[in-house]
Amino acid sequence: MYSGDQINIQQYNTNHFQGWNLLNKYPPVGLLIPSLLIILLMIAPVIYLLIRGFENPGNLIDILTNNKTAIILLRSLLLVITVTITCLLITIPLSWILTRSSMPFRKSFFILCTLPLVIPSYVGAFIIISLSSRSGMLFPVLNTLGVDQIPKIHGLVGSTIVISLLSYPYLLLPMCAAMAKLNPLMEEAARSLGKNHLTTFLKVTLPQLKPAIFSGALLICLYTLSDFGAVSLMRYETFTWAIFQHFNTSIDRSMAANLSLVLLLVATIIIFMQIRYRGNKSYHHTGSGAQRNNLSIRLGKLNLLALFFCSSIVIVSIIFPIGTLIYWVIKAMINNQSFYLNWSYTWNSLIVSSIGAALIMLFAVPSATLIVRHPNKFTKFFEFTSYFGYLLPGIVVALSILYFCINYFDFIYQSLLILILGYAVLFFPAALISTRDMIIRISPNIEESAKLLGANTYHTLTKITLPLMLPGIITGTALVFLITIKELPLTLILGPLDFHTLATTIWDRTNEAFFAQSAVYSLILIGISVIPLLLLSKEMNPLRDE
């Protein structure tokens, strides 16, 4: 671990060594070439949308002034707002309990509360849909109580339930990390002035958590805006579902492209609103900066209430969904329902996700090194374009990659390469952040010392830099693998003919109401996804040192 004095702006300012300044001016070609390729790949979707949008301005104007578009926009924003508020209501008390209270089993609950990340939204939607059927798990129980029909859970309500329960960890992780790092001195001062725990949290702790809340809420907003699996199965028409419908039912792709352009504008506006609201506000701490142990507030009798709240979240978001999947499998076995389990779907998912994660990290390492070690106007532009994947939903990326392949690179059409290129656009930002944060923690003086002792750039990178970066590389690879194996719309559109993954198979089986088959493949997907998530949870657990 490095202290706060080591992780500072001096790591970007390499004026201690004249030779290092020379390297800043002339970055190695081995770092520039991968970065240029990434820039071309990242701007391709934006270029596609601009080409499609302005090749027939009349269609774009019709889309912008169409009442149908306004309705889709309102429905999409309503879903974003309801999901974000629901996640805040879950994570604000949950993060406080996990990091500030004396509740037992907090470390275990933290890991359990991150597990919803392994369940894709389309699996969550399948679980809700199956509960509404007469052959579902709830019907026999409710039937004994005189209930003959279960109300259908779909639309806005169903989509909000599914996405909220499966995406709240995106907010929980940064909030817990931020709260664990807060100096408790201000909270202790508030308590000494007679403030109760609730007032102290609302007036002292919560304002310091605004950066973490903003970043987590932004991730949830963009995730909700780009979700396809849940809204399509819940029959709630948002931008992603409307785009997919136009793509599937129309020969002219301009309508889908124009809707994609509107979706991109909405996502961009959300990001700029978040940045503007955050502004230049400072959240620095005053004082000596000495590390203090976290507060552990004794809850007394309220421990039972805290345990009940945390247990309820775990039951609803993890135990109940997995239990429902197991129910469908057991029911099929009891009824001697035969279905063919095609293991090629599992192998396809493992192969394409592993190759995608490895290649993305292969480009992320030199790109992150260029950004951190050679800061200039070009690297700032490169870093900006690298985050386009956060703005672009999978279905938009798929349409753009498909357009360029058909028109300019038809020799890779219907190959796995086109699918991996789509994964790279979507998930390169996650890999870049992981490796960049690790390089920031490595002092450039270490590398420069090796150069002064005669080591060339290659040996310095392979013998010193890469071994120090290895934890970040492993974490980044696990993260990219986890989100790649769950990706649905991009795989549906860019996957070769007769190439089926676990994600596409689950979606197909659910649409066809083959719930038992969908449950089996869902359990396989969740089982595979747990492995990288446990690795990530271990690295990101703010309670691991307690």
Residue tagged 């275990």 (tokens) = 108
Do the Cβ atoms of 494 and 506 come closer than 8 Å? no
Give me the residue spans of the domains in the chain.
15-48+343-499
Q: Residue 185: is it exposed, middle or buried by C-beta count within 10 angstroms (0-12/13-18/19+)?
A: middle
Give the DSSP per-residue string, 87-146.
HHHHHHHHHHHHHHB--TTHHHHHHHHHGGGGS-HHHHHHHHHHHTSTTSSHHHHHHHTT
Contact 490, 400 (CB under 8 A): no
Burial 387-407 (b: 16+ CB within 10 A, else e): ebbbbbbbbbbbbbbbbbbee
Burial of 153 (0-12, 13-18, 19+ CB in 10 A): middle
Token pair in block for residue 212 = 């973490």
Rounded to two decimals, what is the model's pTM?
A: 0.80
- C-alpha distance from residue 147 to each of 31, 132, 139 (Å): 65, 12, 8
Pairwise CA distance, residues 335 & 486, whole Å = 30
Per-residue pLDDT, 168: 93
CB atoms within 10 A of CB 459: 12
Strands (DSSP E) found in 313-461: none
Assigned architecture for domain 15-48+343-499: Orthogonal Bundle (1.10)
Per-residue pLDDT tens listing for the chain (546 residues): 333 333 343 444 444 333 344 344 567 777 788 888 888 888 888 888 888 877 777 777 777 778 888 999 999 999 999 999 999 999 999 988 888 777 888 888 988 999 998 999 989 998 888 877 776 677 677 667 766 777 778 889 999 999 999 999 988 888 887 777 776 666 667 666 666 666 777 777 777 777 778 878 888 988 898 888 899 889 899 988 888 888 777 766 777 888 888 888 888 888 777 766 655 454 545 444 444 555 566 667 778 898 999 999 999 999 999 998 998 888 888 887 766 788 999 999 999 999 999 999 999 888 888 888 788 888 888 888 887 777 777 888 888 898 899 888 888 888 899 999 999 999 988 888 878 777 777 777 777 777 777 777 677 777 777 777 777 788 888 889 999 999 988 998 898 888 999 999 998 988 887 888 899 999 999 999 998 888 887 766 666 555
